Structure formats: structure tokens, C-alpha cells
Amino acid sequence: MFRILHIIPRLRKGGAERLCLDICNELQKRENTQVQLITFSEENAYPFLTESLDWKIVPACVKLSVFHKNQYFVESLQRAIEDFAPAVIHTHLFEAEVVSRSVFYPQAKWFSHCHDNMKQFKSFKIKTVLNKELFTNYFERKHLLQRYKANGGNTFIAISKDTEAYFKQNVDDLETVLLPNAIDYRRFYRKTNKTNSDCLRLVHVGSFTANKNQKFLVEVASILQSRNILFELHFLGAGECYKEVENLVIEKQLQHQVVMHGNIANVEEYLWQSDLYVHSSFSEALGLTLIEAMAAGLPIVTLDGKGNRDLVEEGKNGYMVYEQNPELFADKILEIWNDKQKYQEMSLYAQEFAKRYDIVPYVDRLFEIYSEK
């Protein structure tokens, strides 16, 4: 029996959490494979994805200190790993990196899933010692590199060419492999033959953080309103910047056009009811929500987040805007919307493109990586 352990801190709303669960659910369909999921918290925003999983909640944490003794609370995690005896340990998000590598289990192959360009892994530069955050990051980096070595090595799984380049540049003594993230294509796909009603329906999915930059999309909405376009913009998600964006919607008098739904479980149903997907992040390691939207038949218009460059074939499944220019962004939306034939072609191509990122061939390749390393 081939035992695979996935570790993620908690199952809150997010792309990393959703992908981790999709991987676990697909892995356990494979013959002679036993999969276990460990989280450090009972938080679970995806109960429909965990009901058939071997999921264990193992409270564990590590408190690293630059000037004092590190504190480790990992005894329960050590026992859980030894009891399961995995051949592979696959971790997600930086907290899981620090906590999991504080146990000692060199019998397994260790893999780190790089859902973003983890800032803690930046190489040392002179300015590092002059900046508290950079110095703390470097301390954590040094600690982790020592723990990787103690556990027999580590392989980073990069989700985009940009992320791959980042880890190869900053952690060149450990292996990095490129494996773009995937979705459950069957969940988001629906045969589409949109006729483009008079009302343009835009949708955005993502946590309300400074990086996600939803205020930019409100500015785009204001421009569409000034051009007398009949439209709706639907925001799905929640977070620390939610109220700030909501206040801007009120300030721009867009309450009838911009709808803020909060966190939504059935995201696919909102995608099926929309015409275009819009994305505004300053940086993006890849962009699972873009792939999900394309699977639902939506062309995309997005700002350049670097990692999402891998997903845009200009004029075929959408457009990328390389500057923070809401006028230009609105132009690209209307270029797709106003050409009915082009819209249909882009919608169909977006679905074909998204099929490349289906979870089934993804796990096939993941198995190969587990075996090769």
C-alpha cells in the first residue's frame, strides 16, 4: 500500500485549501493508495469535500524566535506521522512548512507545494539585516533549510513558470519541479451557448485583501456606468478589505450594479450565470479562479499578476492588461462583449483551454513526481 500524507494548517476558504482537498479526493481513487489529510485546526469551509477523506485534526504549532529559544509543540504530529507511516509527505502553505519540518521523519519523501512565491525564501542581501521583516524571513528560511536537510531533502512543487523561477533562484540547492495547479473540471464545466443578453454580467471570485485589488474593479464598473453600459458586477468572497470596497461602491453610487455576496459555497452556479470573468490581483502565483471561470465558459480579462501569464492566450481565451488602467480594462471587456461571434469563439476556446488543468491528469503527473524523486 502506497501511503501519502497531505498536511495543511486549516481548511478555510482559499485556493490552496480547495486544491489540497481535490488532490486528496482524486488520489484516494487510485488502486493500492492510502491517503490521509492532517490539519492543525478543525476549521473547515469545505465539508462536502472532506466527508469521504481520512482527515485527522492534530493540534500542533511552532514558535520561532530570532533572539530567544524556539518553542515546539509537535509531539502529537510526530506520533500521527509515525502511526500512518507515509511514503510521501506533501505540505501546503508556509505554516505547514515550519510545523511539519519540526518533526523528524526521514523515511518519507518530502514535497512542498508552492501556492505562492513564499517571501520567506528570498536569498540573503545586505538590506536583509537592516529590515526587521526581511531579517525574520531570513531566519525562518535558514531554519527550514536545516530541517529539510535533517529529513533527507525536499522537492518544491511550483505552480507557474514565475514561481518556478523564484524558487530556482532563491533555493537552488533543492529541487524544484513545475506542476501547474488543477481544478475538478467536471464541477465547473457546463455546455454553453451564451446568446449575450442585453445585460453584461461580470463576476470576480477571491478573498478581499489588499493584493486582490477589488477597488480597481469598482473603478472599472464606474467607467462602464459612465459609458451607459447595462451591466452587473458580482463579487464572491470576504476578507479584511470587504468594508473598504463596499464603501467605494457606495461612494461611486454603484449599489444597483455591484453586488457583494460574501463567501459562497456553490461558486460554479454564479459562474454559469455570468458572461465574463474579471481579475485584478497585483500578484498571482497562478490563478485557479481563472481556470474555473474558463471551464464554465467565461472569457477572462485580468491584470498582469505574473503567474497568471501562463493562463492567458491573448484574444483566444481572454485579455491581459499590463497596467493599472481602468479605462483600458473596460475597453477590453467591451471588445469581447460587443463582438458576438468573437465572444462565442472565446467562450468555447476557454473551456478547451481549462480542460488541460483537470485534476485527473494532474494527479497522474503528481504520482510520477512522487515516484521519480
For residues 355 and 366, give the distance between their C-alpha atoms in angstroms, rounded to a whole number. Answer: 17
Q: How far is CA 284 from CA 162, 192, 330, in A?
A: 9, 28, 21
Tell me which amino acid residue 44 is. Answer: N
Where in 268-316 does DSSP place strands (E)?
A: 276-279, 300-303
For the record, the C-alpha cell of 301 comes out as 480579462
Q: Give the per-residue pLDDT at 67.
A: 78
Q: Give the per-residue pLDDT at 127.
A: 58
Burial class (CB in 10 A: 0-12, 13-18, 19+), 67: exposed
What percent of the chain lies above the pLDDT cut of 70?
A: 96
Backbone angles phi, psi at 199, to 5 degrees: -95, 120
Burial class (CB in 10 A: 0-12, 13-18, 19+), 341: exposed
In the block, cell 459612465 appears at 226
Q: Please say whether the dihedral angle defined by the alpha carbons of residues 272, 10, 94 and 139, taken in this order, is positive or negative.
A: positive
Interstrand relation of 71-73 and 231-236 (parallel, antiparallel or unpaired):
unpaired
Q: Give the per-residue pLDDT at 138.
A: 75
Interstrand relation of 258-260 and 276-279 (parallel, antiparallel or unpaired):
unpaired
CB distance 37 to 65 below 8 Å? no
- 3-class DSSP assignment, residue 4: strand
Q: Which residues of the chain have pLDDT under 50?
A: none
For the record, the C-alpha cell of 347 comes out as 467562450
Q: DSSP labels for 197-260? A: -SSEEEEEE----TTT-HHHHHHHHHHHHHTT--EEEEEE---TTHHHHHHHHHHTT-TTTEEE
Q: For residue range 279-305, what is the model confidence (pLDDT) as tens digits?
A: 999 998 889 999 999 999 999 999 999
The residues near 355 (Cβ < 8 Å, ≥ 6 apart) are: 185, 295
Closest CA to 222 of 248, 198, 244: 248
Entry pTM: 0.88
In the block, cell 525562518 appears at 140
For residues 220 and 252, give the distance between their C-alpha atoms in angstroms, rounded to a whole number. Answer: 11
Q: Give the per-residue pLDDT at 285.
A: 87
Q: At what angle do helices 340-354 and 288-295 cross, to 10 degrees?
A: 120
Which spans in the chain are helix H? 15-27, 47-50, 75-84, 94-100, 132-150, 161-170, 185-188, 214-226, 242-251, 267-272, 288-295, 326-337, 340-354, 359-372
CB distance 138 to 125 below 8 Å? no
Q: For residue range 199-256, what is the model confidence (pLDDT) as tens digits?
A: 999 999 999 999 999 999 999 999 999 999 999 999 999 999 999 999 999 999 999 9
